[in-house]
Amino acid sequence: MSIHKMIALHPDVGGELNELLATAARHAMFCAEMCTSCADACVAEDMDMRQCIRSCLDCADVCTAAGRLAVRRTAQNIEVLRLMLETCAKVCDVCSEECARHDHGHCQLCAEMCRECAADCRAALPTVK
């Protein structure tokens, strides 16, 4: 299944899919799940991972909200969508920096996903008008 296809089929989109926004939505959804999984793995580590857990859970919540707003195509709320994409990119940066501090494979993978999500949100911003 493809979120791109689902958005393209929306009556208000009329086949004029914003590919960059759809990609940002897709990656925000993935990032939310990766951050949730990383936070869960951090709980099982033998060291104090509280800050990483907090960063991952905060990022997961913001990414979930950004993904949900980005797939809504009925009417417009451009200002809110732009603010959410900006916020998502910034929160992903914070989470990526925290996860990158740890040598755990799950943290490194999460940091990579957060960097990709941040880049996608920033790429989509100029297309939201």
Structural domain span for residue 119: 3-127
The mean pLDDT values, 10 residues at a time, for the chain of 129 residues are 85 87 97 98 96 98 97 92 98 98 98 98 96
Residues 6+ apart with CB under 8 A from 113: 27, 30, 31, 34, 35
**Rounded Cα gap, residues 24 and 127, in angstroms:** 11
Residue 15: what pLDDT?
A: 77
- Measured CA to CA, the distance from residue 121 to residue 84 in angstroms comes to 9
CATH number of domain containing 23: 1.20.1270.360
Q: What is the pLDDT of residues 76-89, one digit of tens each?
A: 899 999 999 999 99
Give the count of domains, the chain.
1
The pLDDT, as a whole number, for residue 1 is 64
pTM: 0.94
